[in-house]
Amino acid sequence: MAARTTIRRAGAAAVTVLVAAGTAVGATAGHDAGRGGDQTASQQSGHRGDDRDRGRGGKDRARNVIMLQGDGMGLAARELIRLATEGKDGRLVMDSLDEAGWTATDSADPEDAVTDSAAGATAFSTGVRTFNGAVGVDADGNPVPTLLEDAKRAGKATGLVSTAQITDASPAAFGAHVTDRYDQSEIARQYLEESRPDVLLGGGEDFWLPAGEPGAWPDNPAEDPEEQSKGTEGNLVERAQELGYTYVSDAEGLADADGRRLLGLFANEEMFQQANEGEGDVYSPEVPLVDMAAKALDVVSRDRDGFFLFVEEEAIDEFAHRSNATRTIEAGQALDETVALALEFQEKHPDTLVLVVGDHATGGLAIENVDAEDESGEGATAEDGPFPVPGTDLEFSVDWTTGGHTGEATPITAQGPGAERLSGPQLNTDVHDAVQRAMLPRGHR
């Protein structure tokens, strides 16, 4: 992938300083597992109270919020992207924001110690921890209001953007309430008829159309013959159009679209082909993440009351599941380019809060010196590389310890009104609380 120009800002110290203190988060996080939905987990634990609001008046109010997530982007992944892209003395755009912290990633699952994306995103979106696989509900299965719904009630425009299916777990956690993340047609229905985001851009057309009714993306494509329409809620593309959404399915259509409500589905499933390296792996979205985000910003920024926009790069997680460091790096670079876009917007609109998060880590990756005698696995845990370090003659390899998720804390950086609440150690539910306090007056929370 071609090198990209990055925005350089004076800001938070390098995110790598979080490593030294990251182990402290686990002890803090243990207070709220298994809680219901009457209070946020952080309120129940006494963590991050209202003391940060005192004496601030309205100066930290965010008219707009841009929340960017690298799915599966733990600290090691973020450092991998940095080292491969910017070199030893370089810095990613996402590491240049004013405030830096880290979040515990635990869910309230009764069986698994490590979270999945559904529970991780639900903690961010609702301030409540839940069981793995659950979207927008508490540990008892009860619906919990989300940041997107809060913003909508406050009169703000809202949007969801992802290189996954737009009905996948992370975006769904902001706009739907189901106990099973894989009920994606129901998630799509809830988007249209209940939470009603103004912008929906991503993959996953298969879940919007009934079996046997292929749409703009044909059934059983050569790159993945198993992909085909499988919706269970009727023709939701037609339903969206009836409700006033402009529907687009390719880059040209997105560029030409001009409306206040926009649905774009740019793949049967995810907007990339996840596979082991050299086995059909492709990261080349029909519409790049930065272009989807730019269009979403164009639409939602027209609202005089502001907006809430969630933007996700899913491929970091999916390629880490496949121990594919090359594509993980490419996806991370795409996210960083999109963070640069968000900061350009924030520079022109300083009442915008921008934050970059990871819901969990994936792959248990380690950045190592190249050493032929140090190969420590095979298959999903084989080493990857070598990769050059830009500006040097050095190389490094990537060692993987698992094909699944891992439970370490993830880094967060933020800039704009209320960003100071996102610095230092915190629970994943604290992210919700900080964004909500910044975005909404006290009476609207």
Per-residue pLDDT at 198 exceeds 60: yes
pLDDT at 282: 81
At 34, the pLDDT band (50, 70, 90 cuts) reads very low
pLDDT at 275: 75
Domains of the chain: 62-363+406-444 (3.40.720.10)
Cis ω before 411 (30° cut-off from 0): no
Rounded CA-CA distance 328/318 in Å is 8
Q: 330 versus 45: which is more confidently predicted?
A: 330
pLDDT at 9: 33
At 20, the pLDDT band (50, 70, 90 cuts) reads very low
Rounded CA-CA distance 113/130 in Å is 12
Mean pLDDT over each residue of the chain, to the nearest integer = 87
pLDDT at 441: 77
**Per-residue model confidence as pLDDT tens digits over 230-242:** 999 999 999 999 9
pLDDT at 241: 97
Per-residue pLDDT at 196 exceeds 50: yes
CB 164 within 8 A of CB 203: yes
Residues paired with residue 387 on neighbouring β-strands, in sequence order: 396
CB 375 within 8 A of CB 42: no
Least confident range from 6-15, 90-99, 413-422: namely 6-15
pLDDT at 93: 97
pLDDT at 383: 85
Q: What is each CA distance from 184 to 188, 369, 378, 434, in whole angstroms?
A: 6, 42, 34, 29
- Percent of the chain exceeding pLDDT 90 equals 76
Map 300-311 to HEC letters: HCCCCCCEEEEE
pLDDT at 59: 65
pLDDT at 318: 93
pLDDT at 272: 87
Q: Indicate the burial class of 31 (C-beta count within 10 angstroms; 0-12, 13-18, 19 or more).
A: middle
pLDDT at 375: 67
Helices (H) and strands (E) in the chain, counts: 14, 15
Q: Which of 133-137, 225-229, 377-381 has the highest mean pLDDT?
A: 133-137
CB 104 within 8 A of CB 28: yes
pLDDT at 14: 39
Say whether pTM exceeds 0.75: yes
At 444, the pLDDT band (50, 70, 90 cuts) reads low
pLDDT at 376: 64
At 363, the pLDDT band (50, 70, 90 cuts) reads very high
* Average pLDDT score over residue span 339-355: 98
Least confident range from 14-23, 114-123, 143-152: namely 14-23
Per-residue pLDDT at 138 exceeds 50: yes
Examine the residue annotation and report whether 117 is marked as an active-site residue of this protein. Answer: yes
Rounded CA-CA distance 297/342 in Å is 9
What would the two tokens of residue 143 be? 């619906």
**Per-residue model confidence as pLDDT tens digits over 247-302:** 999 999 999 999 899 999 999 999 988 777 777 788 889 999 999 999 999 999 99
* Average pLDDT score over residue span 197-212: 96
pLDDT at 108: 96
pLDDT at 284: 86
Place of tokens 């938070």: 12
At 377, the pLDDT band (50, 70, 90 cuts) reads low
Per annotation, catalytic residue among 42, 117, 125, 249: 117
Q: In whole angstroms, what separates CA 187 from the centre of its chain?
A: 17
Q: 444 versus 260: which is more confidently predicted?
A: 260
pLDDT at 279: 74
* Average pLDDT score over residue span 346-353: 97
- Percent of the chain exceeding pLDDT 70 equals 84
Per-residue pLDDT at 23 exceeds 90: no
pLDDT at 11: 40
At 443, the pLDDT band (50, 70, 90 cuts) reads low
Per-residue pLDDT at 13 exceeds 50: no
